[in-house]
Copies of this chain bind each other. A is one copy, B any other.
């Protein structure tokens, strides 16, 4: 799969890098924060994903001779290109752990390195973290609403080209049980699953014969698609016949799949007839434009569904389809940096910072994180970033530092984590988030406050730039 070389970037990163190089700024120390301003899906949280992908590919983020030749043809200078020949990312990365729940306007990951290297990786970093976080969050919303359902990703055919590879990875982090995507399953060790297509049934003159052949060739995990011609008059009776024949061979039909029509109605009707036929063990799988709202509705109607196959809406993260994460310079040459904006929410937060998750002494999260200067140890209150009248005492609370070193001077700090370990951690963290942040409508606003020192330092910088 993709080889992420250093032209996996926007041209302006290279244009700026050449200026840095020529002006001899390129080795100055720079600090960038990755964060976003709005949770996707009008929700109350975001599941952070993509970190492992970023870390494992940074080593390949180099320029090949062919790439340098291309850049030479784009008017880059020989001296600069010769410097790029040996380019490697040798910076440091501090990050929230992959799978954790994160919130708007808090640093999720910080890059420290030379100005040139920290700038060059921006596009790749955003490309990977934004997308996977979008999809992991979508998956988590479905897992939340169907805690006992089997959730399967069937989306590769509607994914954004090879983006589907990472959609399957992110869906597993967000709580999905498996995927139909073979290459992703193989790479990331995700349980792989699937049923049959309409074309299989169509290729036979006779639906019953199609089911028989499938069951005989695939006695384990056999799921029959029953809606090619007529679900209740043809597909289901044929599936029951085959299930009975399987019983005679000492086998068990695993399930049937419904892919059209009113899924609640058909699931109930099929469940009833399966039960009447003594086939209460046969599971019911559904698919067809599912998302968290359709699944919620099916559950509210008490549709007896065991397995949800989710495609398009999962893998493209509809309706948002993008997470607007940004990567902003917060310090340069040991000095804090800020970007002013007419939109107050878009003013950046200067300095290297740490983020603390706040909880009561006996464990429960309180629904607020604190952002402070990185080396700030003592602070007993947090403040709303812009509303001077809002503050909260936090001296009695536990503070868990979220930004941990994951790469130091280009070397990873830990062995790669398995996807299963990341998914387990994600489930654990999500379980700690209070319910009011999980609902689909008007989710409670998780607070991200800042320390007094950070607020004061930032305000001084704003004043300084406002006088320009």
Whole-angstrom CA separation of A126 from B161 in the bound complex: 9
> Which of A92-100, A320-328, A400-408 interfaces with chain B?
A320-328
Please tell me if the beta carbons of A183 and B7 are within 8 angstroms of each other in the complex.
Answer: yes
- Known pairs A156-B127, A312-B324, A468-B230; A202 contacts B12 (CB<8 A): no
Please tell me if the beta carbons of B131 and A160 are within 8 angstroms of each other in the complex.
Answer: yes
Whole-angstrom CA separation of A198 from B337 in the bound complex: 11
Find chain B residues with CB under 8 A from A9 CB: 156, 182-183
Chain B, residue nearest A74 (CB): B192
- Closest CB in chain B relative to A371 CB, distance in Å: 19
Of A3, A7, A332, most buried by chain B (CB within 10 Å of CB) is A7
Chain B, residue nearest A179 (CB): B11
Please tell me if the beta carbons of A203 and B161 are within 8 angstroms of each other in the complex.
Answer: no
For residue A250, CB closer than 8 A to chain B, the reply is no
- Closest CB in chain B relative to A209 CB, distance in Å: 10
For residue A410, CB closer than 8 A to chain B, the reply is no
Find chain B residues with CB under 8 A from A5 CB: 183
Number of interface residues, chain A, beta carbon within 8 A = 105
Find chain B residues with CB under 8 A from A317 CB: 321
For residue A429, CB closer than 8 A to chain B, the reply is no
- Closest CB in chain B relative to A467 CB, distance in Å: 10
Of A122, A157, A161, A338, most buried by chain B (CB within 10 Å of CB) is A161
- Known pairs A7-B182, A329-B202; A161 contacts B163 (CB<8 A): yes
Whole-angstrom CA separation of A375 from B440 in the bound complex: 54
Whole-angstrom CA separation of A377 from B337 in the bound complex: 72
Report A252-296 residues with CB < 8 Å from chain B CB: 260-261
> Which of A214-222, A386-394, A412-420, A448-456 interfaces with chain B?
A214-222
Find chain B residues with CB under 8 A from A164 CB: 127, 163
Find chain B residues with CB under 8 A from A329 CB: 198-199, 202-203
Tell which of B30, B197, B228 touches A16, judged by Cβ atoms closer than 8 Å.
Answer: B197
Whole-angstrom CA separation of A10 from B198 in the bound complex: 14
Report A128-151 residues with CB < 8 Å from chain B CB: 128, 130-132
Chain A 166-191 against B: per-residue CB contact (8 Å), 1 yes, 0 no? 11000000000000111101100000
- Closest CB in chain B relative to A294 CB, distance in Å: 16
Chain A residues engaging chain B, CB cutoff 8 angstroms:
1-3, 5, 7-16, 18-20, 22-23, 25, 28, 30, 32, 67, 70-71, 74-75, 115, 119, 122-123, 126-128, 130-132, 154, 156-167, 180-183, 185-186, 192-200, 202-203, 207, 213-214, 217-218, 220, 227-230, 233-234, 260-261, 312, 316-319, 321-324, 328-329, 332-333, 337-343, 346, 465, 468
Closest 7 CB pairs of A and B: A160-B163, A163-B163, A12-B194, A11-B194, A160-B160, A321-B321, A126-B157
- Subset of 27 A-B contacts with CB under 8 Å: A7-B186, A8-B156, A8-B182, A11-B185, A11-B194, A12-B180, A15-B195, A19-B213, A19-B214, A19-B217, A19-B218, A25-B203, A74-B192, A126-B157, A127-B158, A130-B157, A131-B160, A132-B161, A160-B163, A160-B167, A160-B316, A203-B332, A230-B468, A261-B342, A312-B322, A316-B322, A317-B321
